Amino acid sequence: MRRALKIAGYCLLGLLLLLAVAIPALVGIRPFIGPDARPLTEQTFERTPERLERGRYLASAVSGCLACHSEIDWQADGMAVKAGTEGAGRTWADEGLPWMSAPNITSDSEAGAGNWTDDMLARAIREGIGHDGRALFPMMPYTSYRYLSDEDLASLVVFVRSLTPIRSSPPPPAIPFPVNRLINGVPAPVTAPVPEPNRSDPVEYGDYLVRVGICRDCHTPSDDQGQQVPGMEFAGGLLLVNPEGDVASANITSAPSGIPYYTEELFIEMMRTGRVRSREIHDMMPWKMYGQQTDEDLKAMFAYVKTISPVQHRVDNTLAPTACPRCGLRHGAGDQNQAATN
C-alpha cells in the first residue's frame, strides 16, 4: 500500500512538473508573473489651450473615451452620454458584462483619477497598465490606442485632467479566472516615439482615425477567445449586447453585402444623422459621437474605408440569428453565407 502511494505521489509530482512546463509553453509566462510594464516616469504634459481642445475633440468625437467612462442614456439616439456623468465611470452590465466596469477618470481625488500622475494616465491609455500596475481588460482598447501620436496622447491626458470632479465609485472589475490571468499577456510598453499622422494623405490619416476610433474592433467578428477571425476585417457580424436589443455589427467593406453604394456624402450624412436615407441605423453605432468630427476627418475616414478589401459576408439584423459558416458566429442572415475557401 505504501509502495502504491509512493508511486502515485511520483506520478502526481511528474504531472505537476509537466503542467508547470507545458502551460507556460502554451500561454507564455505573463499570466503567471504579471504584465510587461515599463516603470513610471515623472513625465508631465504642458497644459495648453490647444492641447485641451484637441483632447476634448479626441475624447468626445473620435476615441470614445467619454462613451466608455460615462453613463449612457439608452433612451437617446446614438449611445449619447448622460449629462452630468462625463468621466465618472460605469459598469458594463447593460452590455452583458456584469463583472466589467470603467473607472472614474475625473479629477476627484478620492473616487477618481485626481491623484494619478500624467504618466499613469498615459501608460494606461496606450499601454494597458492601470495606475496600480495591473493589466487592464482589453475592453479598454489600448491595443488600438497604441497608434495615438505622442502629441494626441498628451492632449488626451490634458483633457482628462480637466474633467470636473465627480464623487462616483463604480465597483472594481471582477474579471473571472482564468481570463484575469490571461490578459497579463496583452499589454506592451510603447518605447519608441509615435509621430503625428500624415494629414496630407486622406487614406493614411483616415487609417489613423479608424484605428483610434475603434472601428475595426466593432466591425470585425471575434472568436470565443476574443481573437479576430482571420480574413474578416470590417466584415461585420460581431454581436453587440445592449438593453435595447442585441445587434450584429454591419459589414462595411465594399463587397456586395457591405456598403459598396456609399458615397462620401452619404457617409457623412449617416454619421451626422444616424440615417441612411430613410433607414435608421442601430443606436449601438455611436453616430452621435462620430458625427461631431470635422468634415475633413470624416472624409479621411471614408477615404480609408473605401480601400478596405471586400469581404462577402451578409449580416441582416431584421432576420433571426442563425449559425454563420463564414465567421463562426450567429447573426441575422448567417445561414446565407458560405464558408471561406482557401
Considering all CA atoms of the chain, what is the largest pairwise distance in Å, rounded to the nearest integer?
82
pLDDT tens figures, 322-334: 999 999 999 999 9
pLDDT for the residue numbered 16: 33
pLDDT tens figures, 213-259: 999 999 999 988 788 999 999 999 999 988 878 899 999 999 999 99
Give the gyration radius of the chain's Cα atoms. Answer: 22
Q: Which of 21-25, 62-66, 232-236, 337-341 has the lowest mean pLDDT?
A: 21-25
Beta bridge pairs of residue 90 = 102
Reply yes or no on whether the pLDDT at 17 is more than 90. Answer: no
pLDDT tens figures, 261-287: 999 999 999 999 999 999 999 988 999
Residue extents of the structural domains in the chain: 49-185, 202-336
Prediction pTM value: 0.89
Non-local CB neighbours of 246 within 8 Å, separated by 6+ positions: 239, 240
pLDDT for the residue numbered 5: 36
Residue 127 and residue 147 in contact, taking contact as beta carbons nearer than 8 Å? no
Reply yes or no on whether the pLDDT at 57 is more than 90. Answer: yes
Residue 121 and residue 157 in contact, taking contact as beta carbons nearer than 8 Å? yes
Kind plus residue range of the DSSP H or E element containing 248: strand 247-248
pLDDT tens figures, 88-111: 999 999 888 899 999 999 999 999
Q: Binning pLDDT at 50, 70 and 90, where does residue 19 land?
A: very low
pLDDT for the residue numbered 109: 95
CA–CA distance, 290 with 252 (Å, rounded to integer): 16
Q: Taking Cα atoms as reference points, which of 330, 333, 337, 328 lies closest to residue 316?
A: 333
Reply yes or no on whether the pLDDT at 25 is more than 70. Answer: no
